[in-house]
A and B are shown apart, each in its own frame.
Chain A
Amino acid sequence: MSQYCTFALDGHVFGVPVSSVQEVLRSQDLTVVPLAPDDIAGLLNLRGQIVTMLELRARLGLPPREPDAPSVNVVVKSPDGGAVSLVVDEIGDVLAPSRDAFEAPPDTVPASIRSLVTRVCKLDTHLMLLLDTERAITSEGMS
């Protein structure tokens, strides 16, 4: 049974495989990159490694976060061996749903999200949208 690290974004619950998550960081000093696209929140110093922070709301076409609203960095491994940080609203629990709880994303999931969501998991009270981490962090999927 696979484990998923969950987090909240604009009221949705997303999940990524635990194996792809390197670490979760709460507030971090970030360096803004002038002229960078909207979905790049900035750069952060992760023990000497410079990590790009992706604003996942912008990636998914969701409305921007309220100013001063708290955010959390989910640092995931990138295919080139480095790391990329996904900026999310709030971190959730690690879940291990059974295999048959998964389904293809229903049409009710907004189109902007659907491109980066592979499957949907039916939990007791809500749905967990399984994020395609690789697509979410590679530049070609960029809006």
Chain B
Amino acid sequence: MDGLDEIIGEFLVESHENLDQLDRDLIALERDPSSSTLLASVFRTIHTIKGTSGFLAFSILESVTHVGESLLARLRDGELALTPGLTSLLLEVVDAVRSLLTNIEHTGAEGTQTYDDLVARLAAVLDGALPEDPAAPEATDDNAEADEPGEDGDVEESAEDEEPEAVLPAPTTLGVVPPRAPEAAEGPDPAASEEPAEGRRSVADSTIRVDVALLDSLMNLVGELVLTRNQMLQRAATREDVELARTTHRLNLVAGELQESVMKMRLQQIDTLWSKLPRVVRDLSVQLGKTVELDMRGKETELDKTILEAVRDPLTHLVRNSIDHGIEKPDVRTAQGKPAHGTLSMRAFHEGGQVNIEITDDGAGIDPTRLRDKAVSKGLMDRETAARLSDHEAVNLIFTPGFSTAEGVTNVSGRGVGMDVVRTNIERIGGAIDLSSEPGEGTTVRIRIPLTLAIIPALVVAAAGHRFAIPQVNLLELVRLDAAQAATAIESVHGSPVYRLRGRLLPLVDLREQLDLPAVQRETTYVAVLKADNQQYGLVVDDILDTEEIVVKPLGTHLRQLPLYAGATIMGDGAVALILDATALARRAGMTPEAELGTLAAHGTDAGEDAASLLLVELGDGRRAAIPVAAVDRLEEIERGRIERAGHHEVVQHRGQILPLVRLDHVLHGDAGHQGLSTLQVVVCRQGEQQAGVVVNAILDIVEATLEARTPLDSTGGDGSAVVSGHVTELVDIAQVFAGLPSGGRLAWSA
């Protein structure tokens, strides 16, 4: 029933639009009766409505449009000439259709009015009678000769078989339908339902179609506004003007909400893309002799139109892959005790401002050993490196360029181009892809993509006096080294500098060198640890300035050949800054997939079971605590003034969301020693879909620690304490932090 309602809804919106066009066309037609394009357009519209109404069993609508169509066919074929009388008649048809549609919209049925009279008059015209002409009586004369009583066959038919059977079904439908819409209870009077209940907008009025170009330009304007706001905020921060501060605060809110609303306007349901998949799945499974059931959840998940376009091909490719390589033939499946038909399930959902898409099949899965062998035989790595890969890392080798696992090349997939292209395409829009597989059980591919590309958070860095923006999605962490540290921590492997980051060797790329900019001698070295294409590297810059929401603007045609830049943006002070493409930068620096696999493998060995990445923080009373890095989203400095209250809780507005704050001192029952500080150090933690800002006194370090001396001692009965970096440190149980938040920690999103 839902499906049908949806179809009727679409039909109504479309028809209302068509009718408005029809009115205009008919009037234009009267002025220029010879225009065959106008006639054809009018004919098409009526024909479309007729077709759909027949399909949806709206018989009165069908009969009215049918005679209207017959008349138009005559006009189109030149058998009749358009007179003002005929135009009025056709306009009457449009009115009748409009009122029928209104009835359908409000009551679900066509109503009692059957338009017998109109149908009869139309039929009479088709039979050769002259239409009466209330508007311009003198015009009727030129109709006389145009009326050829030649082929009456279909005319009679239309007059006969429409009228009697058209009248009958309507009253019966009416009796059944009223319970659906509350207005219908007042009585099936069509006049009453023509005036909708107060406050309720009709389907056609509640949505409008907007040109995408217009939306884009609106988005640009909002981008401008956001930039202007950033400038205002920077200016206002330097002044002691309370009034100005209040105004900018208000501007900040309004601009934020406007930005979000415009962004929402560009969102489309993922179903617009998914609706094509059942056909793909069906065709492919028939072709391969497999039976596959497609299960799709979260069709209503929305994402930006441009992103939707960008994931179209990768998604189709993954679905094809699952059916071709994943799901086995029915006999194989039954032999393994699985149901004969395979299941391909797709799930889409929002999480933390990103869209997740999962594609799961219950097929053969991927054998990590085979992938390791393949990587070795293809010369991508040596046997030891391959052996060191975890199973998860091994199956993700499938995304390496030139890697194909299909036993034979089919015309569906398996040419070794594909999965790497899928990954490239996903990463190009700032997304990430991950594959996990259980041999014999099936494979799941997870894709995380941003909601929108137009406005992104970015880190602004400086190199040789230039400013550059790096998209936050590429950023892992920031490292600051003073001269003494840099001298020991930066080493050289075959002449290329590396940095020892928690026991791992991180290749370093000097931004100034890559951009042919003069080197600047500085006391401190700043390294932005970036990830791109699964490889990590440290980008050496002169200074790290700020994180900012930036509006991505494309570069002109002259600069498109420079892959290093993903676009440009305008900074708060009005200057232009280039956006760096982390992947292109890695390529330019000569980083190869081998290097990538090397770090991957090193990572695999380093992260043993009992070693954990911990964020060390200091509490107000000098105690130390450690938060698992896995639960940490990012670190922020938040000014005291930005803290607001919601109920008993401290909250802060951040990127259009309300972030609840938790004082770690309170959780661990310590003294709040940092009341007087003007900026708070906040560790933004995540648990599932919830986020909370954990306020600490100071952020000390990130360590990779094996928790040897561990005691259950702590202040709250949480995760106990351990010796980390030579200090007794309480281990924060992140679940406990979230437990203190209202209703499971979920605060309402801001509008």
Contacts and interface: CB of A to CB of B under 8 A. Distances in A.
Contacts of A32: 466
Given A45-B575, A48-B227, A139-B557, A34 B466 contact: yes
Contacts of B560: 139
Contacts of B227: 48
B386 interface: no
Interface in A33-72: 33-37, 40, 43-45, 47-52, 54
Q: In which size bucket is the chain B interface?
A: 20 to 34
A110 interface: no
A138 to B, nearest CB: 7
Contacts of A29: 574-575
Contacts of A52: 555-556, 558-559
Interface string B184-225: 000000000000000000000000000000000000100110
A82 B657 CA distance: 35
Nearest to B465: A32
A137 to B, nearest CB: 8
B515 interface: yes
Given A48-B220, A48-B570, A35 B556 contact: no
Residue of A30, A31, A40, A44 with most partner-chain B CB within 10 A: A31
A45 B576 contact: yes
A33 B565 contact: yes
Contacts of B516: 34-35
Interface in B496-525: 515-517
Interface residues of A, number: 27
B515 A34 contact: yes
B558 A40 contact: yes
A80 B557 contact: yes
A84 interface: yes
Nearest to B564: A35
A138 B558 CA distance: 8
Contacts of B578: 31, 33, 43
B553 interface: yes
The residue in B553, B557, B574 that gathers the most chain A C-beta atoms within 10 A of its C-beta is B557
A114 to B, nearest CB: 22
Contact of B576 (A34, A50, A138): A50
24 contacts: A31-B466, A33-B559, A33-B562, A33-B565, A34-B466, A34-B516, A36-B562, A40-B558, A40-B559, A43-B555, A44-B576, A45-B574, A45-B575, A48-B223, A48-B224, A48-B227, A50-B555, A50-B556, A50-B568, A50-B576, A52-B556, A52-B558, A84-B556, A142-B558
List of 9 A-B pairs having minimum Cβ-Cβ separation, nearest first: A34-B515, A52-B556, A31-B576, A48-B224, A43-B576, A50-B553, A50-B568, A52-B558, A139-B557
Interface of B: 220, 223-224, 227, 466, 515-517, 553, 555-562, 564-565, 568, 570, 574-578
Given A33-B565, A50-B553, A138-B557, 10 more contacts: A43-B576, A43-B578, A45-B570, A45-B575, A47-B224, A48-B570, A52-B555, A52-B558, A82-B556, A139-B561
